[in-house]
Chain A
Amino acid sequence: MSTTVIAEIPGHELPSEERVNYLTVDHSVKSWLLTHDHKRIALLYLISITLMFFVGGFFAVLMRLNLIEPTGLVAPETYNKLFSMHGIIMVFFFLVPSIPATLGNFLVPMMIGARDLAFPRINLLSWYIYIVGAAFTMYAVISGGVDTGWTFYTPYSSTFSHSQVIPAAVGVFVTGFSSILTGLNFIVTIHKMRAPGLTWFRLPLFIWAMYATSVIFILGTPVIAITLFLLGLERLLHIGIFDPAIGGDPILFQHMFWFYSHPAVYIMILPGMGVMSELITAFSRKRIFGYTFVAFSSLAIAVISFLVWGHHMFVTGQSVYAGLIFSVLSFMVAIPSAIKVFNWTATLYKGSISYEAPMLYALGFIGLFTMGGLTGLFLASLATDVHLNGTYFIVAHFHYIMVGGAVMAYLGGLHFWWPKITGRLYPDGWARFAALVIFVGFNLTFFPQFVLGYLGMPRRYAVYPGEFQVLNVMSSAGASILGVGYIIPLVYFIWSFKYGPIAGPNPWGAKGLEWTTPSPPPTENFEEVPIVTEQAYNYAGTSESAHG
């Protein structure tokens, strides 16, 4: 039986601008703000998240400007607020929702052959909750800022800080529920609404990644919610839960905080890994090497991620035994990621590789993520972590993964699916140029920070000893290049909405149910429910039984 999908019958197909699609079906503001369509909600998220990215990025620019001078350029109080708000916005309002709420929302139903997610109204609610949370946080920003770091450590945040801790904590608390609802929607949708013939092991790996991410959303986010709730109560009513002066335990806060925040970093990278599997296969036109291994690696990462939070606390005075346990588990969590990197690389072998922008981002991801991940080994190692904790080494490590990894995967995915989402092509020449600028700028920004960390420069320093200046200036120079690199796609993406060439249903010749629909798709995605008879990424057209 052949796959029953939208037939691209030459001559019978309407040009995109004449066909009604999810963008053109209704132009009223109300139809956007009250939409149930997962694709429109994805775009609503895209706009909000892009806005938050540039706000957080703006703070980063100010930070790097300050760090050009060892004596600083802004007041320390200001700098402390800058890095706190940069962290809070980037982590909670950009990285955590980025791929799931934009690409995930858009693609999950399409990749499984469904008309929408299981709970479209809850999907819309999740966006409004995000907006409310963002509003609280923006209020915190404009009403004086918050200076506790995104980690809100007590007793500084509960008793000593004079900044807008509660509005910021409320903002993060509220936005957490946006993640929870998104995760809930994805889990139910993936379990219950796959098209006929789409068994678990025929799913695109992006779906596996979304699933694993959603498990972490559901199980992890409530813990940060309760932690921040307690922090707010402590700050307001001095109940004494985290303040040692009244009997509380500040380390308990750290345990509770990191119990979510470590899995959270896997929320931030797993979706990017899912995008990677899609990009590598599409641009080498090959089946993924080791599908089962990659799929189970996503699940393994999600599970083990809950067991390693203590590696953020090696120098807090926790017992040596606790340190050993968290250390060995932290090494274990690295293995599934390594497996994925090897499988992606092997997928390229004897492929037919092209170098459009999405692929450049994908290849950049693999290298930078490898480096970021390997530097994690320095931190999982107890003896070196003692020296490196709290320094710029940590900053470099997580930026390699979050920016060199997650953001590049996000950009790669945006470029890849842009024609599907908008029905337009972006200018690939500019896109490749921007990818290169981002790659160079990124490395110049963050590689010197590894060195700074080992030299001993602590993080969150507004001023620093003069001998660190050369490396700091290099880093700030890189940041300026990186900033330019991010603005270029903003410009041509917006440009492409109106002036980009019209895209066909499948400009890349990629496999996947989403590519069998018109670009942009109609509101209902598929006119007929597709039936799936082959495994994912079956470029070579082999039957399933031919594979081990």
Chain B
Amino acid sequence: MADMATHNAHHAQHDAFQHQFEDMEQQRDAGTFGMWVFLAQEIMFFGGIFAAYIVYRALFHDSFEIGSNLLNVKFGAANTVVLIASSLTMALAIHAAQAGKKGKTQVMYLLLTVLLGVIFLAVKFTFEWTADYHEHLIPGFGFIIRPEWGAAGSHVPMFFSFYFFMTGLHALHMIVGIPIILIIAVMAWRNKFDEVYHAPLEMVGLYWHFVDIVWIFLFPLLYLVGGRYLSNGGH
């Protein structure tokens, strides 16, 4: 077996190599596996709040319907498309690296991903949430229960608590992810990634896809349960 000296010499050329590993392949393996484990933890994190949501949706069915119908499905749907597109651009960035394309291509796709992510956040914060604030739909910040909601009105704030908490938590994950993508983009600009080494790209990609998938669950659960797209307003 190689001793430390030859071991280090063997891997000296790859400056991203970390000494605790035996080779780059083990490093990449460990990194992606670690990201999967991290995502498992994230699933449990979001899972907890989804479980609570399901409980209250069952208990306060009518209130949640009213609340959901007050959300802007158009913006939500548009954001869904935007986020899925950002997953596409992320995948293209990784593909570019795997195919050995130049750093600039990877950077382009990464920046597109960031742009789409920023668009998502902009739509959410400046269009949806600001409007919600002005319409007094944010619990704890001047929420007004409207008489036309009738008997179910008292639990509409609960719906909005879940809405803001869940989409807020999701947005927080995006806000954390965007600078990380930018850092990776800087590394890509410096041509750090090629077909041999692009593990950080893969890991960030995994994270970003997860954030996308969470939204794909959030959107129907929050925006579409009102059923207003059906002619009679659903059940």
Task: State yes or no: do A and B touch (Cβ within 8 Å).
Answer: yes
Question: Bound state CA distance, A527 and B22, in angstroms?
Answer: 13
Contact in complex: A237, B140 (CB < 8 Å): yes
Within the complex, the shortest CB–CB distance from B57 to chain A, in Å, comes to: 13
Closest to A233 in B: B165
Contact in complex: A192, B44 (CB < 8 Å): no
Contact in complex: A239, B161 (CB < 8 Å): yes
Inside 8 A of B140's CB, which chain A residues have their CB? 236-239
Contact in complex: B30, A222 (CB < 8 Å): no
Binary flags per residue of A219-250, CB closer than 8 Å to B gives 1, else 0: 11111011100100100111111000001110
Contact in complex: A193, B26 (CB < 8 Å): yes
Q: Is A256 an interface residue (CB 8 A)?
A: yes
Q: Is B232 an interface residue (CB 8 A)?
A: no
Q: Which of B46-54, B81-89, B119-127 contacts the other chain?
A: B46-54
Interface residues of A in 19-76 (CB under 8 A from B): none
Contact in complex: B161, A222 (CB < 8 Å): no
Question: Bound state CA distance, A222 and B40, in angstroms?
Answer: 10
Can you show 23 pairs from A to B with CB atoms below 8 A apart?
A: A118-B20, A184-B37, A185-B34, A189-B30, A191-B33, A219-B40, A219-B44, A221-B44, A222-B41, A222-B42, A222-B47, A223-B44, A225-B48, A233-B165, A237-B139, A240-B155, A241-B56, A241-B158, A247-B154, A249-B55, A249-B59, A524-B4, A528-B3
Interface residues of B in 23-75 (CB under 8 A from A): 26, 29-30, 33-34, 37-38, 40-42, 44-49, 51-52, 55-56, 59-60
Contact in complex: B158, A256 (CB < 8 Å): no
Inside 8 A of A109's CB, which chain B residues have their CB? 20
Inside 8 A of B37's CB, which chain A residues have their CB? 183-184, 187-188, 218
Tell me the interface secondary structure of chain B in the complex.
helix
Closest to A177 in B: B41
Contact in complex: B34, A188 (CB < 8 Å): yes
Q: Is A252 an interface residue (CB 8 A)?
A: yes
Given contacts A227-B48, A241-B158, 11 further A-B contacts (CB under 8 A): A116-B20, A118-B20, A118-B21, A120-B18, A183-B37, A187-B37, A191-B33, A226-B48, A230-B52, A239-B165, A249-B55
Inside 8 A of B151's CB, which chain A residues have their CB? none
Question: Bound state CA distance, A529 and B22, in angstroms?
Answer: 9
Question: Bound state CA distance, A73 and B192, in angstroms?
Answer: 67
Within the complex, the shortest CB–CB distance from B138 to chain A, in Å, comes to: 10
Q: Is A117 an interface residue (CB 8 A)?
A: yes
Cross-chain contact of A220 among B44, B49, B55, B157 (Cβ < 8 A) = B44
Tell me the interface secondary structure of chain A in the complex.
helix
Contact in complex: A531, B154 (CB < 8 Å): no
Contact in complex: A527, B4 (CB < 8 Å): yes
Q: Is B190 an interface residue (CB 8 A)?
A: no
Known: A187-B37, A188-B33, A528-B3. A222 touches B44 (CB 8 A): yes
Question: Bound state CA distance, A117 and B154, in angstroms?
Answer: 52
Cross-chain contact of B52 among A118, A196, A256 (Cβ < 8 A) = A256
Q: Is B14 an interface residue (CB 8 A)?
A: no
Listed in ascending order, the chain B residues whose CB lies under 8 Å from chain A are 1-4, 18-22, 26, 29-30, 33-34, 37-38, 40-42, 44-49, 51-52, 55-56, 59-60, 139-140, 154-155, 157-158, 161, 165
Cross-chain contact of A218 among B2, B44, B155 (Cβ < 8 A) = B44
Contact in complex: B40, A193 (CB < 8 Å): no
Cross-chain contact of A184 among B2, B38, B154 (Cβ < 8 A) = B38
- Considering only CB atoms and an 8 Å cut-off, how many residues of chain A contact the other chain? 48
Known: A180-B41, A230-B49. A115 touches B20 (CB 8 A): yes
Contact in complex: A119, B55 (CB < 8 Å): no
Contact in complex: A192, B33 (CB < 8 Å): yes
Q: Is A4 an interface residue (CB 8 A)?
A: yes
Inside 8 A of B47's CB, which chain A residues have their CB? 222-223
Within the complex, the shortest CB–CB distance from A414 to chain B, in Å, comes to: 25
Within the complex, the shortest CB–CB distance from B216 to chain A, in Å, comes to: 20
Question: Bound state CA distance, A405 and B138, in angstroms?
Answer: 49
Q: Is A114 an interface residue (CB 8 A)?
A: yes
Contact in complex: A226, B49 (CB < 8 Å): yes
Question: Bound state CA distance, A360 and B200, in angstroms?
Answer: 48
Question: Bound state CA distance, A180 and B48, in angstroms?
Answer: 16
The 5 closest A-B pairs by CB, nearest first: A237-B140, A222-B45, A239-B161, A226-B48, A116-B20
Question: Bound state CA distance, A365 and B165, in angstroms?
Answer: 45
Question: Bound state CA distance, A119 and B161, in angstroms?
Answer: 37
Question: Bound state CA distance, A227 and B45, in angstroms?
Answer: 9
User: Among A114, A219, A236, A237, which residue has the most Cβ atoms of chain B within 10 A?
Assistant: A237
User: Among B4, B37, B51, which residue has the most Cβ atoms of chain A within 10 A?
Assistant: B37
Contact in complex: A256, B48 (CB < 8 Å): yes
Within the complex, the shortest CB–CB distance from B153 to chain A, in Å, comes to: 11
Inside 8 A of A185's CB, which chain B residues have their CB? 34
Question: Bound state CA distance, A127 and B52, in angstroms?
Answer: 31
Contact in complex: A118, B59 (CB < 8 Å): no
Cross-chain contact of B161 among A4, A118, A240, A259 (Cβ < 8 A) = A240
Closest to B38 in A: A184
Interface residues of A in 258-299 (CB under 8 A from B): 259
Inside 8 A of B48's CB, which chain A residues have their CB? 222-223, 225-227, 256, 259
Within the complex, the shortest CB–CB distance from B163 to chain A, in Å, comes to: 11
Cross-chain contact of A241 among B20, B30, B161 (Cβ < 8 A) = B161
Question: Bound state CA distance, A226 and B47, in angstroms?
Answer: 9
Interface residues of A in 109-131 (CB under 8 A from B): 109, 114-120
Contact in complex: B1, A531 (CB < 8 Å): yes
Contact in complex: A117, B1 (CB < 8 Å): no
Known: A193-B20, A241-B56, A256-B48. A221 touches B34 (CB 8 A): no
Within the complex, the shortest CB–CB distance from A244 to chain B, in Å, comes to: 12
Closest to A185 in B: B34
Inside 8 A of A192's CB, which chain B residues have their CB? 26, 29-30, 33
